[in-house]
């Protein structure tokens, strides 16, 4: 039931792009993306509702393919501040609207 995130970890140079994927076996109402830095609370990035819409702000965007129950987070021209662990949270249609979290993708940005 837990969504599968890939990759588990990625190391980039500053300025490079990254894609993080989140896949569920269940029909989804929405997908949430959060970033967590070490020792801190998760911080909200964006929500995607079913409908295949793409969202973004600054150089971080995401898409949601409701037919495949997959979401991807795109980080363009990565900055040092993007380092952290990225979590997707999925809300299955049959879950009483509870968030179910992936295990996270650790992103390391090097200068």
Distance of closest approach, residue 94 Cβ to other proteins, in angstroms: 12
Q: Which residues pair with 89 in a beta bridge?
A: 32, 101
- Count the neighbouring beta carbons within 10 Å of the beta carbon of residue 79: 13
**Sign of the dihedral defined by the CA atoms of residues 108, 47, 101, 92, in that order:** negative
Is 54 a binding residue for other proteins by CB under 8 A? The answer is no
Kindly tell me which of 102 and 109 has the beta carbon lying closer to other proteins: 102
Q: Which of 23, 32, 34, 28 is nearest to 50 (CA)?
A: 28
Distance of closest approach, residue 55 Cβ to other proteins, in angstroms: 12
Q: Looking only at residues 63 through 102 of this chain, which bind other proteins when binding is defined by CB under 8 A? A: 87, 89, 91, 96-102
Distance of closest approach, residue 66 Cβ to other proteins, in angstroms: 14
> Could you please report the per-residue DSSP string of 30-62?
EEEEEEE-TTS--EEEEEEETTT-EEEETTEEE
Q: Looking only at residues 17 through 46 of this chain, which bind other proteins when binding is defined by CB under 8 A? A: 29-30, 32, 34, 40-44
Q: Applying CB under 8 A, which residues contact other proteins?
A: 2, 29-30, 32, 34, 40-44, 47, 49, 87, 89, 91, 96-104
């Amino acid at each position: 039931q837990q969504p599968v995130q890939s990759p588990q970890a990625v190391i980039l140079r500053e300025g490079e792009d990254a894609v993080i994927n989140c896949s569920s076996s269940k029909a989804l109402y929405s997908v949430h993306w959060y970033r967590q830095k070490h020792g801190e609370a998760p911080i909200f990035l964006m929500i995607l509702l079913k409908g295949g819409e793409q969202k973004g702000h600054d150089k971080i965007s995401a898409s949601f393919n409701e037919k495949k129950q997959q979401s991807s987070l795109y980080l363009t021209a990565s900055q040092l501040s993007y380092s952290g662990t990225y979590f997707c949270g999925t809300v299955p249609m049959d879950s009483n609207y509870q968030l179910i979290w992936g295990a996270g993708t650790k992103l390391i940005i090097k200068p």
